[in-house]
């Protein structure tokens, strides 16, 4: 067990949590004054457990630096002993600060293989949970949920979601048990290596507000694009729905189940329509191809019919000529017969005339 130094405090004048480096800057600029009897910074927002604190900078020789800066309690007896303290890297720090400005992001429920969109109503960093007596734990970020998509998750989580930022070390098992006892759904979010590489471990990041805000803006721009970028991690504590949220959770879960089924049926129908349209398009192409072939065949038939008509006309002409030829052949045959008959008659006449001439000659003698 150790006393973990606080890096964030609640600033009622601006109704927000601010990092110790910002508080030091405000103090050094003379914009605020520390007052033990009337503190302007508190360890927590909750009035029932909060105590006054003030920013303290570490020193390295004669140089004050922000890396080791922290909030100190005015009254030492108010100091809260924190179980399972951990070293704060700049990546860890900026990830926490991001949630003070982030409005929406998405995480993944790996057990149900679904992405969950989370809308934030408010966020509190270093949220304190009492374990026993004067000891407790810090939750890196406790979100008050505005809504989730699917909607039932808000009621499954009882409108609260704890985010534990994982840079180098995972959450301790005993800390998980405490979170489970408080029935707080907890998501352990890993900081991707690509993002860690973009957040230098330098004092400038803590001392220079503009530099720090640029890095936070980069994170917000990344994670608010929840359709494309998911806060990677795992649920390490699953909450049980409290009685006041059970009815809403059950109704919404049933609705979402029906909606999922409807969407699946709709997608199946869309796929069937798509296949039908593709078949229809292919059928149209086939019909057009058949029409083209039919037209080509029709033209060929028309050409053939023209040839057939010519053939039939020629056939009739040939038949006519054949008949005429047969008739002519008959006439020729008859003429030949008549000619032969005439020849015979002539011969007979000639023979008859010769005999008669001889007879006349003989009689005349």
Q: Residue-wise pLDDT tens for the chain (365 aa)?
A: 344 578 889 999 888 888 888 899 899 888 898 888 999 999 888 887 888 999 998 654 444 545 578 899 998 888 888 888 877 788 888 889 899 889 999 998 777 778 899 999 999 998 989 888 778 899 999 999 999 999 999 999 999 999 999 988 889 999 999 999 999 999 999 888 888 888 888 777 777 778 888 888 888 888 887 677 788 889 999 999 999 999 999 999 999 999 889 888 888 888 888 888 888 888 888 888 877 877 887 787 777 777 667 777 777 777 777 787 777 778 777 877 777 777 777 767 666 665 665 666 666 65
What does the domain layout of the chain look like in residue ranges? 8-79, 90-241
The secondary element (H helix, E strand) that includes residue 41 is: strand 41-42
Does this model's pTM top 0.75? My answer is no
The DSSP letter of residue 84 is S
| Pick from 45, 255, 261: nearest CA to 155 | 255
CA 325 vs CA 313, 322, 330: distances in Å: 18, 5, 8
CA pair distance 337, 334, nearest whole angstrom: 5
The DSSP letter of residue 205 is H
Count CA atoms within 13 Å of residue 22 on its CB side: 17
Order across the sheet with 8-11: list the strands: 16-19, 8-11, 41-42, 52-60, 63-73
314, two tokens: 């020629």
b/e per residue 84-115 (b: at least 16 CB within 10 A):
bebebbbbbbbbbbbbbebeebbbbbeeeeee
The whole-angstrom distance between residue 135's C-alpha and the CA centroid of its chain comes to: 46
């Amino acid at each position: 067990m150790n006393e973990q130094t606080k890096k964030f405090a609640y600033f009622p004048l601006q109704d927000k949590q601010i990092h110790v480096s910002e508080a030091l800057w405000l103090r050094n600029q003379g914009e605020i004054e520390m007052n033990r009897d009337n503190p302007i910074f508190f360890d927590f927002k909750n009035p029932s457990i909060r105590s006054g604190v003030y920013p303290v900078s570490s020193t390295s020789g004669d140089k004050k630096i922000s890396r080791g800066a922290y909030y100190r309690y005015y009254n030492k007896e108010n100091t809260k002993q924190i179980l399972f303290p951990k070293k704060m890297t700049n990546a860890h720090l900026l990830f926490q600060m991001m949630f003070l400005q982030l409005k929406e992001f998405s995480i993944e429920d790996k057990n149900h293989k679904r992405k969950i969109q989370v809308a934030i109503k408010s966020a509190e960093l270093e949220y304190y949970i009492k374990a026993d007596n004067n000891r407790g734990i810090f939750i890196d970020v406790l979100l008050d949920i505005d809504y989730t998509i699917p909607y039932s998750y808000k009621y499954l989580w009882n409108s609260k979601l704890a985010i534990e930022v994982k840079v180098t070390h995972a959450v301790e098992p005993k800390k998980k048990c405490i979170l489970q006892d408080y029935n707080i759904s907890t998501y352990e979010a890993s900081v991707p290596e690509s993002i860690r590489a973009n957040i230098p471990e330098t004092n400038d990041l803590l001392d220079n507000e503009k530099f720090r805000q640029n890095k936070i803006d980069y994170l917000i721009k990344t994670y608010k694009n929840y359709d494309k970028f998911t806060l990677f991690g795992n649920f390490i504590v699953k909450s049980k729905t409290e009685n006041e949220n059970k009815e809403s959770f059950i109704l919404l879960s049933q609705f979402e189940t029906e909606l999922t089924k409807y969407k699946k049926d709709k997608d199946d129908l869309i796929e069937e329509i798509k296949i039908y349209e593709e078949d229809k398009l292919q059928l149209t192409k086939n019909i057009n191809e058949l029409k083209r072939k039919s037209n080509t065949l029709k033209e060929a038939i028309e050409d053939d019919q023209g040839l057939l008509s010519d053939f039939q006309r020629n056939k009739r002409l040939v038949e006519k000529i054949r008949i005429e030829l047969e008739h002519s052949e008959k006439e020729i045959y008859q003429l030949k017969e008549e000619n032969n008959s005439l020849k015979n008659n002539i011969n007979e006449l000639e023979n008859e005339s010769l005999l008669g001439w001889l007879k006349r000659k003989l009689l005349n003698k």
